[in-house]
Amino acid sequence: MDKYYRKWLLPISLPALILFFAVIVIPFVTGVLYSFTSWRGTYFAGGANAFESFVGFENYVNAFKNEKFLNAFVYTIKFTITAVIAINIVSLALAMMITTVSRGGAIYRTVFFLPNLLGGLALGFIWQFIFQNVFSDVLFGPQGLIHIPALTNMLQDNTKALFALVILVTWQMAGYMMIIYITGLNTIPRDLYEAAQIDGAGALAQFRVITLPMLMPAITIVFFLTLANCFKLLDQNIALTDGNFNTRLLATQILRTTRDTAPPDYGMAQAQAVVFFVLIAVVTLVQLYVTKRREVELH
Amino acid sequence: MRNLAKIFSLCLVLALPVLSLAGCGMDMAGSGYDLYIFNGKGESAQALKDAADKFSEETGKKVKTFSLGSGTSSLDTLRAELNSKNMPTIFSIVNIQELKEFEEGGFALDLTTVTDENFKMLADEIPENMRLSSNGTNSFGVPYNVEGYGYIVDTRMVDALFGEGSADDFLEDAKNASYEEFQNLVIAVDGYIKNNTAASVVLDGETYTLRSEKTDLSSKLTGVFAIAGADKWTYGDHLVNVALNAVFDNPADAAAATDAQIASLKGPLTAYARALDFKTSYAAGMNGPVTRGAEFINTTTANYDSAVQIFAQSKALFIKQGNWAYTNIAKINEEIVKTLEFIPVKLPLTDADVTSSVETAEQLNRSISVYVPNYYAINAKATDEQKQTAMDFLVWLNTSESGQKFVTEDMAFVPYNADHQNITTDNSLSNSIIRYMEDGDVISNPYGGAPVNWSGDVLGLEIMEKYLTKEKWTEEDYSAIAEYGISKWNEMK
Amino acid sequence: MRKKVLHTVLYIALTVFAILTLAPVAFLLINSFKSQSEIVASPMSLPLNWDFDYILTASQEINFFRSLGITFIVTVLSVALIVLASSLAGWAVARAKTKTSSVMLYMFTAAMLIPFQAVMYPLLSLFEGVGLKNILGLIIMYGGFGLSLSIFLYHGFVKSIPPSIEEAALIDGAGMIKTFFTVVFPLMKSTTATVIILNSMWIWNDYLLPFLVIGNASSRTLTLELYFAKMTSGQFGNPWELIFPAVFVSIIPIIIVFLLLQKHIVRGVSDGAVKG
């Protein structure tokens, strides 16, 4: 039987392989190649093809000398850390509340999941107005409901804009992650808590000793998803600040690099994209390794 | 789950035939026109479309036009279009910096190599100093038009402030006034708006006294200048450009700037910063004066459109804008557009600061910036047939009577090739520009030759982020702005 | 008693969160019926009159029915392609326990780490070169981008079911393809549902890929229409009286679908995560 499967492995995987090579592998390899050339998007400078305009590591050196790229690098890391923490806390809190209440959980779950259905672009338009007009004037402005200067004009300041973006993505992603946490919480046997209560453990101790360890698989997944999504965030960044005030995230930076010079430096944009790939790969693999190990230790 | 599977298969059955229909539709779109114009100037979108329709009507050729909104970067879209099968035959290039990409990539057709007689004549007649040229002999574009900008002022408002019939003299004297006199004017009007103090000011030797009672019109004023703090091109590109004229004659001159020229920007850029500080201290808002701060650069309430609106509703005396704003102003207030005029943007320069061929600070302060904002380029990779249609269209637009009608009336442009002695348009601002051209009181647009993004996205951004949100500017700030501009220029050139 | 208090507190907290979550949507709703000046002047209040003109104008502006149809076609066909290709591959990779199959699995899974930006520009050149810079090409691209996660999910599922059933069919003389469609594929339906849901959700709302592939051609997706509606409107930098109703009508279909299928969607999301 095994022989039979082996014989059919390639023919049956053929549609997937063709798609995969056409859409991912070939462009990715080409992209890595182009990152070593002075590619201009519509043509190659200094030659008729990629090989004739080979420039070695120049694009990479330039990328790491590029102030905007370095800023975007740091800003992306700051944003991702803040957003991952915020999303995890909110989604876990929502999940625990919903699993604790006896009735109506389904309705709340539906409501919290709703923002996930809306595209980043549409959301960005609405939130831009909310931050610029509603927050800055109606709610928290000098003549507003309560004057909170930190919540006004959030899109005109590097640090405030980071939190504006965190608010937006938390609003958007928390519902999705909440679903995963609910599934995780439902797998924890009730009697564990009952036993702990008999032993006299408080709510906090129960959370630390039972909930957290038992939830580790879900935490791994949520961390993985939030990390990946926040690292690659683009639409919302463009819609809110369009990268002004040094608020470019890496994805935006790569997209906008071609606007920074004339002729547009697609070669350097491609080099930045390769660095971006390495960064994502390293961070996610390390994260998976660490959380998986914790899962094992806790079990 | 079974339900879901059923729903999905139903969707599939529905989708397949529609795709084949869509496929046919796409093919038809591909061959549905003879000429595709990619227009980079959003303001003239509708007028260009109308002109194209008229051209179709006269020649039977089908024309497709596409424009993005004003102030939007259309380059990404243009690149995508140039890379596609249905690429545009006519596209637009803004300046010699942008030209680099399209020349190097072989997209821009050198008009001096064209053999078609009518078009050759058109191309040869483009004035030397208006050509889009990378080396002085080639030429890659037909100018859209010429544009100019300065402080736009409503002459009825001048009458309302200084008495009926004062506008004509005021315009002449304000044009010749020194920066200090202009400053006094702004301070006096500001005091009048806020405290009803009817002071007198002297402009070029003449005394103007504010009326003791405000009129209906002048009581609408909330400040002296309408300012778009969120649109950095207004104070980045355009205001900086005035200062650059002190050193450079034109874009080509700026593109080939020497170290000494760049260093000598210190004085003009300091004057620029000082003037901007002054100007932004007297800003008008929707419901009262506005001051610098985060609100000053709010992208929904302090953008170009809101500034235009503030001015069009007579809430500000001046707006620094060009004749392209005419149609936008008209949309808000039909009345005001008939009585608009330009006065020059003035900077606190000394003659020592002015090393370009403008020669004196006085001459610079009495001139407005007039230049070609955009060029029609022909796609060298198009088929010969497409190129021919493109040339026919450009010849028609710029020489035929019906084509010119669209240029001067619908687009409200000042044509680059018009005999300026003979034309007046329906557009008050264009007429004002033509008068400045007749008098020879015009300066150029060297910012078009500055390093890419230097004026708007670098210097303008620095000012937006660090200074427009700051209450008080100091001498050190002026100097820091100038130094920043110079060091960035050196870095980016 | 303590439990009752706790529950009351929780309900209050949940309701507050729910209100915060729904506020932007409600905000979108009320502002879809107002004029520009009314939106700017009083964004938080109910419209003076429920004027459907703005919604009608916006629907025309974004060619609502056409763009909805195009988005629908693109999403459905892309997802169908993903389901077909990845269920076959996931099955084959899980069953053939060879070096090649594990290399393939690693390759498919590792591709999840490649950011779109790293392949974006070369992908477009490639597809342009072969004349696929159109809706068909867009569908193929989605097919490729959806593979990684989907193959991973199918692979995980197939590993959990014993091969005995399909082997019986194979021994009976049914071919590999026939066995797959008659025996294996029906078994996979819960995974298929997950794959459909997870992929539809991002493809429906995707903006960058349609922008790069279709650009300003006449057949635009819903998000693309929305983008161009905002970008080509000249007069006001932000024509809210157009943007709000346009966004509003553009999200109605997806909300309806969600409310109809929410049980499946929620299960799809949690299954996708747990197996992933």
CA angle, residues B327, B217, B289, in degrees to nearest 5: 85
φ/ψ of residue C43, rounded to 5: -65, -25
Read off the pLDDT band of B23 (50, 70, 90).
very low
Taking CB atoms and an 8 Å cutoff, what residues of chain B touch C80? 8, 12
**By the 8 A CB rule, do C90 and C155 touch?**
yes
pLDDT per residue as tens digits for the range C196-206: 988 998 999 89
- Both B225 and B121 in one domain: the answer is no
Asked whether residue A102 is domain-assigned, the answer is yes
State residue B29's pLDDT score. 42
What pLDDT is attached to residue B282? 96
Report the pLDDT value the prediction gives residue C113, as an integer from 0 to 100.
86
Mean pLDDT, chain B, rounded, equals: 88
Kindly state the percentage of chain B with pLDDT values over 70.
Answer: 92
pLDDT at A174: 95
* A262 Cα to chain B: minimum distance (Å): 6
Candidates B38, B73, B76: best to mutate against A (most CBs of A within 10 A) is B76
* Mean pLDDT value across chain A: 89
pLDDT at B28: 38
Query: What DSSP letter does each residue of B161-223 carry, written as one string?
Result: HH-TT-HHHHHHHHHH--HHHHHHHHHHHHHHHHH----EEEETTEEEE--SS--TTGGG--E
Statement to judge: residues B100 and B236 lie in one domain: no
Question: How distant is the Cα of A109 from the closest Cα of chain C, in angstroms?
Answer: 9
Residue A133 located in a structural domain: yes
Say whether C217 and B26 touch across the interface (CB within 8 A).
Answer: yes
A248/A243 Cα distance (integer angstroms): 4
pLDDT, tens digit, for every residue of B424-464? 778 899 889 988 988 889 999 999 889 988 998 899 999 99
What domain range is A109 assigned to?
Answer: 66-260
Q: Report the distance separating Cα B276 and Cα B289, nearest Å.
A: 16
Residues B155 and B60 in one domain: no
How confident is the model over A148-204, as pLDDT tens digits?
Answer: 888 888 888 889 999 999 999 999 999 999 999 999 999 899 888 888 888 888 888
The radius of gyration of chain C's CA atoms, rounded to the nearest angstrom, is: 23
Residue among C70, C193, C236 whose CB faces B4 most closely? C193
Average pLDDT over residues C140-160: 93
Superfamily of domain C63-275, CATH level 4? MetI-like (1.10.3720.10)
Helix (H) or strand (E) holding C261: helix C240-275
Confidence of residue B7 (pLDDT cuts 50, 70, 90): low
By percentage, how much of chain C surpasses pLDDT 70?
95
User: Could you give the percent of chain B with pLDDT greater than 90?
Assistant: 61
Query: Are B91 and B202 found together in one domain?
Result: no
pLDDT for position B24? 42
The stretch C48-65 carries a mean pLDDT of 90
pLDDT of residue C268: 84
Domain membership of residue B13 (yes or no) is no
- Give CA–CA dist B2/A282, Å, rounded: 41
Enter the DSSP assignment of C168: H
Task: List the B375-378 sheet strands across, edge first.
Answer: B63-67, B35-39, B90-93, B375-378, B142-143
Provide the pLDDT confidence category of residue C232 given band limits of 50, 70 and 90: low
- CB contact at 8 A, C64 and C249: yes
B21-35, B357-371, C48-62, C67-81: range with lowest mean pLDDT = B21-35
Q: Which residue of C has its CA nearest to B306?
A: C236
Q: Do B465 and A258 touch (CB under 8 A)?
A: no
ipTM: 0.88
A26-40, A230-244, B153-167, range with the lowest pLDDT: A230-244
pLDDT grade, residue C97 (50/70/90)? Answer: confident
Residue C7 Cα, gap to closest chain A Cα (Å): 6
The answer to whether the beta carbons of residues B116 and C251 sit under 8 Å apart is no
- Chains in contact with B, where contact means 3 or more Cβ–Cβ distances below 8 Å, are A, C
Run of H or E residues at B377: strand B375-378
Cβ(A69)–Cβ(A272) below 8 Å: yes
pLDDT at position B475 is 95
Any idea what the Cα angle at residue B226 is, between residues B368 and B311, rounded to 5°? 90
Q: What are the tens digits of pLDDT across the range B61-119?
A: 999 998 876 555 678 778 878 877 788 999 999 888 889 899 988 999 999 999 999 99
Write out the residue range of the structural domain in which residue B132 sits. Answer: 32-143+373-415
**Vertex B188, ends B185 and B192: CA angle to 5°?**
135
**Claim to verify: residue B211 and residue B285 sit in the same structural domain:** yes
Contact C22, A118 (CB under 8 A): no
Q: Could you tell me if residue C127 is left (phi over 0), alpha (psi between -120 and 50 degrees) or otherwise beta?
A: alpha
Quick check: is A10 in a domain? no
- Same domain (yes/no): B279, B387: no
- Reading the block at residue C173, the tokens are 């003389």
Residue with the larger pLDDT of the pair B241 and B29 = B241
CA-to-CA separations, B374 to B93, B108, B450, C114, C205, in angstroms, rounded: 6, 14, 16, 40, 35
C132 CB within 8 Å of a chain B CB: no
- Given CB atoms, is C136 within the 8 Å cutoff of chain B? yes
In chain A, the residue whose alpha carbon lies closest to the alpha carbon of B229 is A156
The per-residue pLDDT for C1 is 67
| Cβ separation B297–A136 shorter than 8 A | no
User: Domain boundary at B415, B440, B467, which?
Assistant: B415
Q: What's the CA gap between B118 and B396, in Å, rounded?
A: 10
Residue A22 belongs to some domain of the structure: no
pLDDT in tens, A105-164: 889 999 999 998 888 878 888 898 889 888 887 888 777 788 888 888 888 888 999 999
What's the total number of domains in chain A?
A: 1
Q: In terms of domains, do B49 and B187 share one? A: no
pLDDT in tens, A55-77: 999 999 999 999 999 999 999 99
C-alpha span between C147 and C153 (Å, rounded) = 10
Which residue on chain B is closest to C209 by alpha carbon?
Answer: B80
- Is B177 within a domain? yes
The dihedral over CA atoms of B97, B99, B103, B108, expressed in degrees to the nearest 10, equals 180
Q: Which residue has the tokens 């990539």?
A: B105
Give yes or no for C140 touching A (CB within 8 A).
yes
CA–CA gap between residue B131 and residue B139 (Å, rounded):
6
A19 lies in some domain: no
CATH of residue B126: 3.40.190.10
**Interval A250-275 mean pLDDT:** 90
B112 with B173, same domain: the answer is no
B351 and B474, same domain (yes or no): yes
Q: How far apart are CA C89 and CA A13, in angstroms?
A: 4
| Residues B179, B190 share a domain | yes
Residue B463 belongs to a domain: yes
What CATH number corresponds to the domain at position A189? 1.10.3720.10
For residue B435, tell me if it sits in a domain.
yes
What mean pLDDT is predicted for residues C168-192? 88
Q: Are residues B258 and B272 in the same domain?
A: yes
Claim to verify: residue B385 and residue B365 sit in the same structural domain: no
State the burial class of residue B339 (Cβ atoms within 10 Å of its Cβ: 0-12, 13-18, 19+).
Answer: middle
Q: How many CB atoms within 10 Å of residue B400?
A: 14
The minimal CB distance from B77 to the residues C135, C216, C233 is found for C216
Question: For the segment C106-147, what is each residue's pLDDT rounded down to a tens digit?
Answer: 999 889 889 898 898 889 888 887 888 889 999 999 999 999
**Domains of chain C by residue range:** 2-31, 63-275
Adjacent-strand bridge partners of B378: B90
pLDDT of B221 strictly over 90 = yes
Whether residue B6 is predicted with pLDDT greater than 90 in this model: the reply is no
Task: Please state, rounded to an integer, the average pLDDT across all residues of chain C.
Answer: 87
Chain B residues whose CB is inside 8 A of the A258 CB are 76
